[in-house]
Amino acid sequence: MLSLTEKEIDLISTQLLKGMICFYQIDKKRIHQMPDDEDYYNYDLTEAEEDVLDEIEENPENYAEFTQMEPAQEHQMMQDFIDRRVKEKNLADDLVSSLTKPKANTAFKFLIDDSKYKKEWIEFRKEKYYDWIKEQVDSFNYTED
C-alpha cells in the first residue's frame, strides 16, 4: 500500500504546479520528475529521464504516477476560490470574467497577482493540490487491491 509523507506530498505538489509529472518509485521511496510531454512537447529527455521511463515500462507496478489536475479541475478550483474567499464584488466579477477567456489561467493569475489575495490563492491552490495528490494515492491503492 502506497503512503506518502507530508514532505513527499509537498515535493510532488511543487513539481506538478511547475508543469512536471512525477513518478514515485515504491521500492526506493524516490520521486522522479520530468516535464509533462503535453506541456513540453519540444523538450528532449535527458539520458537519466529516458532510463527512468524505461524502468517504468519494464516494472510499472513499482511506480505511482502523479499528474497535474485536468483543465476543468483547475477551472473549478479557481471558481471555488472566488466563491469562498474573494469578498470584493468588482474583483470577483473580474475574476469570473477572466475564467471565460481563452487563456483563463493566465488571466486569472494576472488579476490575483495584483490583488491582496495573492498569498491566500497560493495557499488555497497548494491545499487543493495536496488533496489531489492524496486522491491519486487512494486511486493507486484501490487499483492495487
> How far apart, in whole angstroms, are the C-alpha atoms of residue 80 and residue 96?
10
For 78-104, write each residue's pLDDT tens digit.
999 999 999 999 999 999 999 999 999
pLDDT at 38 over 60: no
pLDDT at 64 over 70: yes
Q: What average pLDDT does the segment 16-28 reach?
A: 95
pLDDT at 13: 97
* Mean predicted lDDT score pLDDT of the chain: 93
Grid coordinates standing for 34? 520530468
Q: Judging by beta carbons within 10 Å of its beta carbon (0-12, 13-18, 19+), is residue 87 exposed, middle or buried?
A: exposed
> How far apart, in whole angstroms, are the C-alpha atoms of residue 133 and residue 98?
27
Task: Give, in order, the Cα–Cα distances in Å from 100 to each of 79, 119, 128.
Answer: 11, 23, 21
